[in-house]
């Protein structure tokens, strides 16, 4: 049985290898399996009627014309849902949300009724034949309107709700912050609005509900980033026994946070399948996706930074108004009402901070509020990085110098922030220095001087972000009481191949490859020999899913730990095979050898076979384990981004001429995939800075309801990115990784905007709210030209 350790053994392609992605084999052949690709026998199709009004009393629905259309099987209304106690559902934030309207509509695009038909075209035809009698009501489209004393009360169905206020939330120490401000030589302030944007994954949301009336088994194929949490929510909403609910999240065409919440369409399709005894498919069209599903941001921010004249930062004060839409549906840890916004002190060492936030209902779509970020970390990073640049100019300092003066130093970690985070590790100066070197900062500033002398508008912008990701430790992090821990199960088959089952769910991040690499790193079985299963709640361990950059910090850790559990047992079997005591067995993957006699050795593959064929008496057969990981802390990725832009004075058009991104996400599992994540995030960050915005007119009409109005970056205007890296491992994560999927969306918007403001600063422009469309930039230039 024992084999010699081979010196020529192929290198294990574990951590640090740019392994080509396993999932690509199906995608490049057009053999992905997305929700709309699934076809079940006898399947019906659902289409949803949505409200044209943002706020209107519902007087009645007449569906007789729709019901008469050949091929229509049923029309579902709120009244029918109410008969089954399903007209309302809980949200991820512990609020309620209408599934189908019973009393009044509260935003344009809200779900009013649904048609179930034999054919998707017929379902859409019939939707147009439903007659609804509405009485329009006054509309609230901003938190400023919502807090007015005479504002209409949007959630008047809630007991005790007499206004539009949802929550008041504070973090930090108000008195300490006041004292810091009293000591300040200078206070720099900024009011800025982080506009409503939308994750807009290229695939919309959808589901196929298949409820078997005979067995009670409900199999729901669903575009979900968090299938296990959804299963539990479904059990609670529908009162179905949880063991009879199986959520299957197939290949997802992107998510970016959009596919975390429960949407009314899922509930209606499930109810329809239950009532009709046939599978029901519902696929959103693009407009439905943009007007009704999880938006992001919509956050009005006021920030004040207290400084000494020498640039020393003393304290930060922020007050915030959150526009939550008609239902408070944020998918975020329940303890924190504006997510992790209180990471707003960012990369800087200061003694005090105070965050005050208020959330309001408006007649707008409800949201998950995240778009490729960890619970409002993006808004926080944007505010501090914009403030710091403005502070530098007001102090007459270079923005890079002001940052470096105040960065938390490498020797200060672990560092406790004034709002209570304990940053795990960092080297902010290192990342900044590399970014400045790569972009040639000093030379660029000199060139800027020359260009300015020629009358050109040239700008250089920096952003040095710190994220808080990987939620999280069970003590502080839960959604609806479900602790934000995640699991992994690893089973090694007799032939030395294995299957890893994980609670997270890829939307393009490459989990099938990177998680196999973690196993490879730990136990020495090549990644191509480890199948990674995810997305099916019947066949994966429990966990809260993939969003907020939490997969690597939580499931990545669980994967490393479960691998170590497997090795513990494997070592016992190896000792049996090698006929030595367990403590005399050394493991250097993939080989177990006898201490002092390295020629006497067996491989992990030998051990796997023995686990089913030749295991010691008294031992259970098999080689497998499970592990649920409770992170001891969040992880804190960081980096510095540097952007150079040229602004056309006559048109306001701005172009990125250089974009350097230095990221430190700790240990990189698959560098190729990490860089791909950063490219994507930098592009979505650019979209947010330059063009992506959902607005509403004064009557609550959504503007940005398709890809003609909601602009996304194409290959032509997207900047060309130059990447750099530093590696500061997380000290508490089993493999030192921190997560990277969202760093670039968090860090980059401020870098782009800072560059444009830097270009326009000599004209007197101090701020432009995103998105920086050429029209807005042109207006700012013109306004600056006008005599005061």
Partner 1 sequence: MEISVTMNGTARTADVEPRMLLAHVIREEFGLTGTHVGCDTTSCGACTVLLDGSPVKSCTMFGVQADGHEVTTVEGLAGADGLHPVQVAFQEEHGLQCGYCTPGMMLVGAALLERNPDPTDDDIRWAISGNICRCTGYMNIVKAIQTAAKAKAAAPAAATA
Strand partners, 305: 188, 316
Alpha-carbon 342 to chain mean position: 17
Q: Which helix (H) or strand (E) holds 303?
A: strand 295-307
* Shortest reach from residue 662's CB to partner 1, in Å: 16
Q: Is 110 a residue of the active site?
A: no
Q: Is 693 a residue of the active site?
A: no
Q: Catalytic residue among 225, 448, 507, 526, which?
A: 225
8 Å CB contact between 688 and 749: yes
Query: 132 or 200, CB closer to partner 1?
Result: 200
8 Å CB contact between 387 and 188: yes
* Measured distance CA(69)–CA(136) in Å, rounded: 29
* Shortest reach from residue 7's CB to partner 1, in Å: 30
8 Å CB contact between 313 and 347: no
377-395 helix and 743-760 helix, angle to the nearest 10 degrees: 30
Q: Catalytic residue among 385, 467, 675, 742, which?
A: 742
Residues in the chain: 788
- What single string gives the DSSP state of each residue in 254-266? --TTTTSS--HHH
* Shortest reach from residue 206's CB to partner 1, in Å: 11
Token readout for 342 is: 């209180």
Residue with tokens 């991820």: 92
* Shortest reach from residue 430's CB to partner 1, in Å: 24
Query: 251 or 489, CB closer to partner 1?
Result: 251
* Measured distance CA(689)–CA(684) in Å, rounded: 9
- What single string gives the DSSP state of each residue in 137-186? -----SHHHHTSTTPPPTTTTSTT--SSEEEEEEEE-HHHHHHHHHT-SE
* Shortest reach from residue 723's CB to partner 1, in Å: 9
* Measured distance CA(278)–CA(272) in Å, rounded: 8
Nearest to 512 by CA among 199, 251, 715, 300: 251
Query: 361 or 465, CB closer to partner 1?
Result: 465
* Measured distance CA(162)–CA(296) in Å, rounded: 26
* Shortest reach from residue 541's CB to partner 1, in Å: 24
* Measured distance CA(674)–CA(690) in Å, rounded: 24
- Three-state DSSP at 271 gives helix
Query: 1 or 703, CB closer to partner 1?
Result: 703
Q: Catalytic residue among 372, 386, 589, 668, which?
A: 372
- Three-state DSSP at 501 gives strand
Alpha-carbon 179 to chain mean position: 36
Query: 243 or 285, CB closer to partner 1?
Result: 285
E strands, 676-762, are: 695-696, 702-703, 722-725
Residue with tokens 């196993």: 519
Query: 590 or 713, CB closer to partner 1?
Result: 713
Query: 164 or 225, CB closer to partner 1?
Result: 225
Task: Note the residues at the interface with partner 1 (CB under 8 A).
Answer: 20-21, 23-32, 34, 36-37, 121, 200-204, 251-254, 256, 285-287, 507-510, 672-673, 675-676, 679-684, 706-708, 712, 714-716, 718, 720-721
Query: 596 or 720, CB closer to partner 1?
Result: 720
Biggest CA pair distance of the chain: 92
Query: 464 or 513, CB closer to partner 1?
Result: 513
* Shortest reach from residue 204's CB to partner 1, in Å: 8
Q: Is 742 a residue of the active site?
A: yes
* Shortest reach from residue 286's CB to partner 1, in Å: 4
Q: Is 225 a residue of the active site?
A: yes
* Shortest reach from residue 160's CB to partner 1, in Å: 41
Q: Catalytic residue among 205, 207, 373, 702, which?
A: 373
163 CB burial (10 A radius; 0-12, 13-18, 19+) = middle
Nearest to 261 by CA among 93, 503, 111: 93
> Which residues carry out catalysis?
225, 372-373, 742
């Amino acid at each position: 049985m024992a084999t010699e350790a081979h010196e020529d053994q192929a290198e294990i392609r574990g951590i640090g290898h740019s392994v080509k992605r396993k999932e690509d084999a199906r995608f490049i052949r057009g053999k992905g399996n997305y929700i709309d690709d699934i076809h079940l026998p006898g399947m019906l199709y659902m289409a949803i009627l949505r409200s044209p009004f943002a706020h209107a009393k519902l007087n009645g629905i007449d569906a007789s014309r729709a019901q008469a259309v050949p091929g229509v099987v049923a029309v579902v209304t709120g009244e029918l849902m109410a008969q089954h106690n399903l007209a309302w559902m809980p949200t991820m934030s512990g609020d309620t949300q209408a599934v189908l309207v019973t009393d009044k509509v509260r935003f344009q695009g809200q779900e009013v009724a649904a048609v179930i038909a034999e054919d998707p075209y017929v379902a859409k035809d019939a939707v147009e034949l439903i007659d609804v009698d509405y009485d329009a009501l006054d509309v609230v489209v901003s938190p400023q309107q919502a807090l007015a004393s005479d504002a209409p009360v949007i959630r008047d169905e809630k007991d005790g709700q007499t206004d539009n206020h949802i929550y008041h939330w504070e973090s930090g120490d108000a008195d300490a912050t006041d004292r810091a401000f009293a000591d300040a030589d200078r206070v720099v302030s900024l009011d800025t609005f982080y506009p409503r944007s939308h994750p807009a994954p290229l695939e919309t949301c959808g589901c196929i509900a298949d409820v078997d009336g005979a067995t009670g088994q409900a199999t729901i194929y669903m575009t979900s980033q968090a299938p296990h949490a959804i299963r539990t929510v479904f059990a609670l909403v529908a009162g179905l026994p949880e063991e009879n609910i199986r959520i299957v999240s197939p290949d997802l065409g992107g998510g970016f946070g959009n596919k975390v919440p429960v949407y009314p369409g899922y509930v209606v399709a499930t109810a329809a399948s239950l009532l009709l005894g046939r599978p029901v498919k519902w696929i959103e069209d693009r407009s439905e996706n943009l007007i009704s599903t999880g938006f992001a941001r919509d956050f009005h921010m006021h920030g004040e930074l207290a400084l000494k004249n020498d640039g020393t930062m003393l304290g930060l004060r922020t007050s915030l108004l959150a526009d939550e839409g008609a239902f408070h549906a944020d998918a975020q840890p329940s303890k924190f009402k504006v997510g992790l916004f209180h990471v707003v002190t960012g990369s800087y060492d200061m003694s005090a901070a105070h965050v005050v936030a208020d959330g309001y209902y408006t007649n707008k779509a409800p949201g998950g509020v995240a778009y490729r970020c960890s619970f409002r970390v993006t808004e926080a990073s944007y505010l501090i990085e914009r403030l710091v640049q403005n502070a530098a100019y007001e102090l007459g300092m270079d923005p890079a110098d002001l940052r470096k003066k105040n960065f938390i130093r490498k020797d200060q970690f672990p560092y406790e922030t004034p709002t209570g985070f304990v940053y795990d590790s960092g080297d902010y100066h290192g990342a900044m220095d590399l970014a400045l070197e790569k972009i040639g900062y000093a030379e660029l500033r000199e060139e800027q001087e020359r260009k300015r002398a020629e009358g050109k508008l040239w700008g250089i912008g920096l952003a040095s972000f710190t994220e808080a990701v990987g939620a999280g430790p069970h003590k502080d992090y839960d959604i609806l009481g479900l602790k934000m821990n995640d699991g992994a199960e690893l089973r090694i088959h007799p032939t030395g191949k294995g299957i890893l089952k994980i609670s997270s769910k890829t939307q393009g991040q490459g989990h099938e490859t990177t998680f196999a690499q973690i196993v490879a790193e730990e136990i020495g079985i090549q990644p191509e020999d480890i199948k990674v299963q995810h997305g099916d709640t019947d066949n994966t361990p429990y966990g809260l899913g993939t969003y907020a950059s939490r997969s690597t910090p939580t499931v990545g850790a669980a994967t490393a730990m479960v691998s170590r559990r497997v090795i513990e047992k494997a070592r016992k079997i190896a000792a049996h095979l090698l006929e030595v005591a367990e403590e005399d067995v050394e493991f250097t993957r993939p080989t177990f050898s006898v201490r002092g006699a390295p020629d006497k050795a067996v491989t992990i593959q030998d051990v796997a076979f023995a686990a089913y064929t030749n295991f010691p008496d008294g031992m259970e057969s098999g080689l497998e384990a499970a592990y649920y990981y409770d992170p001891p802390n969040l992880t804190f990725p960081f980096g510095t981004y540097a952007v150079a832009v040229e602004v056309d004075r006559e048109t306001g058009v701005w172009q990125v001429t250089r974009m350097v991104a230095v990221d430190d996400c700790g240990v990189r599992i698959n560098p190729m995939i990490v860089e791909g994540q950063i490219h994507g995030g930098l592009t979505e960050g650019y979209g947010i800075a330059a063009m992506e915005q959902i607005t509403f007119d004064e009557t609550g009409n959504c503007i940005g309801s398709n890809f003609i109005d909601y602009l996304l970056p194409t290959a032509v205007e997207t900047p060309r990115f130059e990447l750099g890296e530093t590696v500061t491992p997380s000290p508490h994560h089993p493999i030192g990784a921190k997560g990277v999927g969202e760093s670039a969306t968090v860090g980059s918007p401020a870098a782009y905007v800072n560059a444009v403001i830097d270009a326009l600063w000599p004209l007197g422009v101090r701020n432009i709210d995103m998105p920086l469309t050429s029209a807005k930039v042109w207006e700012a230039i013109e306004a600056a030209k006008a005599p005061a």
